[in-house]
Amino acid sequence: MSTAIATRNFHVPLPDEIYSELRAEAERAQQPATLLARMAIEAWLEQRRAATLHAEIAAYAARYGGTPLDLDPDFEAAGLELWATLENIESEPRQPAKGKSRKTRAKKGRAK
């Protein structure tokens, strides 16, 4: 069973230059120009949602940072502890597999 997504048409007058670029890109991509336009609009809307969320979080942080509504001290400490642990793990040199040096693995590869 196919689930149809409701769609609506939206007339967007474009300057000749943008229209020509869109048509040329559609031809290069071998995709309908309407699909490319829809993808561009979706990407722009997602970018706007992300920017709005970022602005709201920044405004909250600026208003409530350092107050009792700020991050829970225990939660913050746990996060910093995890961060320090991850930094230590990433900075440790990686060891070869136990009992298998690079030379041993290379010799086995040639012996086959």
Output the pLDDT for position 96. 62
pLDDT for 41-78, tens place per residue?
999 999 999 999 999 999 999 999 888 887 788 888 89
Count other Cβ atoms within 10 Å, centred on residue 35: 11
Output the pLDDT for position 86. 84
pLDDT for 77-102, tens place per residue?
898 999 988 877 777 666 666 655 55
DSSP per residue, 90-104: HHSPPPPPTT--HHH
DSSP state, residue 70:
S
Average per-residue pLDDT in the chain?
Answer: 85
- The pLDDT of residue 35 is above 50: yes
Unique residue bearing structure tokens 């040639």: 110
Contacts of 70 (CB under 8 A, 6+ apart): 64
Output the pLDDT for position 103. 56
Output the pLDDT for position 112. 47
